[in-house]
Chain A
Amino acid sequence: QLQLQESGPGLVKPSETLSLTCTVSGGSISRSSYYWGWIRQPPGKGLEWIGSIYYSGSTYYNPSLKSRVTISEDTSKNQFSLKLSSVTAADTAVYYCARLPGNSNYAWFDPWGQGTLVTVSS
C-alpha cells in the first residue's frame, strides 16, 4: 500500500526558505509514470495546489507561486522535496504531499500524506 510522509521544520522565519521532504513507501517514484504533488492549506482555509513533479523530473508550478517554488526528487531515497523561498506569514499552512493517479499533471490527488504544519514566524 502506497504511503507518503512529509517531514521538515515546523517553524521558519520570515524571508527564509521553507524546505519539506515527502518520503514515499510501498512504491517507487522512479519506476512508475506518476506525478507527485504538493498542496497546502492555511489554518481554517481551503486547499491550494503548489506544484507537481513527474517521475522523469519535469516540474509544474502554480503560477501564483512559481517565482518562489522549486520541487525536486531524489530517486535514490524515494523522496521528492519542496522549497519555498522568501516566506511570509501568509505561507503558514499545513503542507501535504500526494500522488496524482494516471500519467498526467492534470489529475486528482490520491493518496495523501498526513500533512505537516509549517508556521512562519520570527
Chain B
Amino acid sequence: AIRMTQSPSSFSASTGDRVTITCRASQDISSYLAWYQQKPGKAPKVLIYDASTLQSGVPSRFSGSGSGTDFTLTISSLQSEDFATYYCQQYYSYPYFGQGTKLEIK
C-alpha cells in the first residue's frame, strides 16, 4: 500500500492567517492526490483533485501543489468556516487516505 503521512496532525490558527498542510506519500504518486475537508458529523467534501485542480464551487483561497511524494494544501486567508479536519488521499494505486489534520481556532 502507498501510505500517506500528513503534518501536522493538528494545529491552531486565527482567521486571516495563511496556513499550509503537508502530505507525504511513501512512494511517487505523480499528481494523483486529492484533498478533502470534513466538518464534525458531516461527510468529507473534495476541495482539490489531481494535486492542484480546484473542485467546482470551492473558494479560490484554497490551493494545492506538489507532485511525486510531497504535496501541500494552502488556505490563503482563513475564514471561520474553514476550521475543520483535512485529509489527503492518493489514487495512484488503490485509494488510501492520510490520517488527517485538525485545524482549530486559536
For the A-B complex, the count of residue pairs with Cβ-Cβ distances under 8 Å equals 57
A residues contacting the other copy or chain, number (CB 8 A)? 23
Residue of B34, B43, B96 touching A114 (CB-CB under 8 A): B43
In the complex, A49 Cα to B93 Cα: how many Å? 12
Q: Smallest CB-CB separation from B46: which chain A residue?
A: A110
A26 is an interface residue with CB less than 8 A from chain B: no
A46 adjacent to B87 (CB under 8 Å): yes
Interface string of A69-106 (1 = CB under 8 A from B): 00000000000000000000000000010100100111
Which of A39, A47, A105, A106 counts the most B-chain CB atoms under 10 A from its CB?
A47
Total interface residues in chain B, CB < 8 Å: 22
Do residues B100 and A46 form an inter-chain contact, with CB atoms below 8 A? Answer: yes
Q: B43 to A49, Cβ gap below 8 A?
A: no
Other-chain contact of B1, A63, A96, A110 (Cβ < 8 Å): A63
- The answer to whether B97 touches A47, judged by C-beta atoms less than 8 angstroms apart, is yes
Residues of B close to A98: CB separation below 8 A = 43
Could you say which of A46, A106, A109, A114 contacts B94, with CB atoms under 8 Å apart?
A106
* Chain B residues in 8 Å Cβ range of A49: 94-97
Do the beta carbons of A108 and B94 come within 8 Å of each other? no
B32: chain A residues at CB < 8 Å are 106
CA distance A105 to B98 in the complex (A): 18
User: Residue of A at shortest CB range from B90?
Assistant: A106
Which residues in B have some Cβ–Cβ distance to A below 8 Å? 1, 32, 34, 42-46, 49, 55, 87, 89, 91-100
- Sample of 11 A–B contacts (CB below 8 Å): A47-B44, A47-B89, A49-B94, A49-B95, A62-B94, A106-B95, A107-B91, A108-B89, A109-B89, A109-B95, A110-B55
